[in-house]
Chains A and B, each alone.
Chain A
Amino acid sequence: QVQLVESGGGVVQPGGSLRLSCAASGFTFSSYGMHWVRQAPGKGLEWVTFISDDGNSKWYANSAKGRFIISRDDSRSTVYLQMNSLRPEDAAVYYCAKDLAGHYIFDYWGQGTLVTVSS
């Protein structure tokens, strides 16, 4: 069965950096695009970024552009989110989600990792 396990969350000071990881299993990782979606405490879902199956297309929400970088390592079946210049408003649970090819949706989600931005 499909499993997505995020890690790397924690407490970081404003202006700091953090790298999140999402380890995938149960499907052919290299054949699917992957997303990061976040949810601030008590708030709704916000799409953050997407990477295509071949890694050549990377799309970002305006809130992430210029600060966040998505990447993937197919040999490790892992997608990463490098977050730089973190702001208090970036505090959220970050979910990775698998893209359903051809349908532009998130068909499987991980359990999320919590990022806290505070001094």
Chain B
Amino acid sequence: QSALTQPASVSESPGQSITISCTGTSSDVGAYNYVSWYQQHPGKAPKLMIYDVSNRPSGVSNRFSGSKSGNTASLTISGLQAEDEADYYCTSYTSSNTWVFGGGTKLTVL
């Protein structure tokens, strides 16, 4: 049950775009399209932003998008806004009937 690999931090200016990668294995990210992404502001509960690799729940801005290639999933945020500054976590269902999270990525909007 090794954690998925995410960059520890990313930063970009308002209005620009960023992409956060999430690398797993053929037993998790590569095996299923059950990759999801969560946004967490300090002191708050996580919020679902993307599910099934690329689907957005109702109410989530279309500036958020997801994709996957092989064992790596990605979250892209376009038109960065100050309110996007948060921690982002990917997660995947695994072939062992467990779930594994990435280590988290701190997004700083400069």
Contacts and interface: CB of A to CB of B under 8 A. Distances in A.
Interface of A: 35, 37, 44-47, 50, 57, 59-62, 95, 100, 103-112
Given A61-B98, A100-B51, A112 B45 contact: yes
Contacts of A108: 48
Nearest to B46: A109
A97 to B, nearest CB: 8
A62 B51 CA distance: 25
Interface string B35-47: 0101010000111
B91 A47 contact: yes
B101 A45 contact: yes
A79 to B, nearest CB: 16
A104 B89 CA distance: 15
A90 to B, nearest CB: 16
A95 B91 CA distance: 15
B45 A104 contact: no
Contact of B101 (A46, A62, A107, A110): A46
B47 A47 contact: no
Interface string B83-110: 0000001010100011111111000000
A44 B97 contact: no
A108 B38 CA distance: 11
Nearest to A63: B1
Contacts of B102: 44
Contacts of B48: 105-108
B45 A103 contact: no
B32 A111 contact: no
B21 to A, nearest CB: 16
